[in-house]
Structure 1
Amino acid sequence: MGRIVGAVIVGTEQISGGIPIFHAKDQEEQQRLILSLEKIMDVMAHDLKNGTFILVDHKHTQ
């Protein structure tokens, strides 16, 4: 099991939670953010198919 460490969304929807939320102005910017964050944070992005990608650390163990 992994740990969700962030989310990348398009637009300025009002969502909240206990993780960092990165807002992109369009899908092109969203893809750039996802690629950069995957490399920087050493995580994987997963598409929830609703305009939201979650960033998951699959190495995290409890």
Structure 2
Amino acid sequence: MSESLTKVILSVITTNRNRVAGGAPVFFCNDQKEMELFAKNLEAILDGIAHRIGDDVYLIVKHF
């Protein structure tokens, strides 16, 4: 039986350095507006989907 990935976290975007750790590329932003801009652009660049998981954290996820 073969297993395959169905979802992969491509990046994390945050304004709060204390909320995240390694494992995926992390982008630190200065404010909410910059964070939303990063999420929108990385979503397109990485061909993923931006998921807001809190007021200060977005994940860019690739769904297969």
TM-score over 0.5 for the alignment?
Answer: yes
Distance 1:18 1:49 in 2: 19
Distance 1:18 1:44 in 2: 18
CA RMSD of aligned residues (A): 1.3
Q: TM-score w.r.t. structure 1 length? A: 0.82
Gaps of 5+ in 1: none
Between Structure 1 and Structure 2, how many residues are aligned? 58
Gaps of 5+ in 2: 1-5
Distance 1:35 1:54 in 2: 11
Q: TM-score w.r.t. structure 2 length? A: 0.80
Query: Structure 1: which 4+ aligned runs deviate by more than 4 Å?
Result: none
Identity %: 28
